[in-house]
Amino acid sequence: MAAREAGGVVLGKSADKLFSLSGLFAVYKPKGPTSAGVLNLLKERGLAEAGVQTNGNKRNQVLKIGHGGTLDSAAAGVLVVGIGKGTKMLRTMLAGSKKYTAIGVLGKATDTLDATGKVTEEKPYDQVTKGDLENVLQKFTGDIMQVPPLYSALKKDGERLSTLMKRGEAVEAKPARPVRVYSLSLQHFQPPLFTLDVECGGGFYVRSLVSDIGKELSTCATMQELTRTKQGPFTLEEHALYEDKWTIDEIARSLEHCTSLLPAEPPHKKLKTEHPDCHTLKDTRMWCGN
């Protein structure tokens, strides 16, 4: 088979295989980098292995790749990636259910609602028992109203709230909005630490949940660690590719394996990529508050 062209570049066999990849798969995002940073690294690895030059913006024209929902820099876990025509399927990932394991700290509040922020309040927590915590969780299960954190990917006048906050600009809290919690359970309690397993719908902030739990217990709380263990049908244990597996062949195998997890696409029906909380960038990255 003769090599084809993309963006005016003649492709070899590896590059031809890379640009023919299409569908959804999952990678592991470690704690530290942004979701966009992980996506860019994945993209650069693939293009480098394929021997494709990445000068200027040509790489954005020849390789379509995006992710299905932002994980905060301080969080780790499953990041669903769409490649080729798979970028059009990312909307289902944004709206679908997600599972998290979160570690909260009682008696401390921060401006970001997680360990990356400045401590804004400290309160006693000695009175809180395991039974108190378990009882409170029932109030946060089902269809509830939640106020998103000020430090978030939500936007005001086209800019992220977190960006405005870091510049020191005054930002009003977004109004409470309906979110869904499918299940919420206490896995471990060793004051001041507590560990939760959460399954929720799109647009839900685990940071806000931990903070709200602290208030409900007449103290305060902030999130220390967060791991996304599942997004849609993709699980951390079974489907997430770690960085040492970010090769063209491994991605191709993962795409083949993950095809069976997805519903069949209706024939002759275009899939929209818009989402009320998300924006598609030039290289098809999709951003969403989670």
Active site members: 72
Of 1, 46, 11, nearest in space to 27 by CA: 46
Cα distance from N-terminal residue to C-terminal residue, the chain: 44
| Residues forming beta bridges with residue 29, ordered by sequence position | 77
| Phi, psi of 230, rounded to the nearest 5 degrees | -160, 140
* 70 in Cβ contact with 80 (< 8 Å): no
For residue 235, what are the CA distances in angstroms to 8, 226, 230?
Answer: 38, 15, 4
Decide: residue 263, CB within 10 A, 0-12 exposed, 13-18 middle, 19+ buried: exposed
Distance CA 157, CA 61 (A): 28
Tell me the H-state helices in 21-112.
35-50, 58-62, 90-95
Decide: residue 103, CB within 10 A, 0-12 exposed, 13-18 middle, 19+ buried: middle
Q: Can you give the C-alpha Rg of the chain in angstroms?
A: 21
Decide: residue 168, CB within 10 A, 0-12 exposed, 13-18 middle, 19+ buried: exposed
* 287 in Cβ contact with 279 (< 8 Å): yes
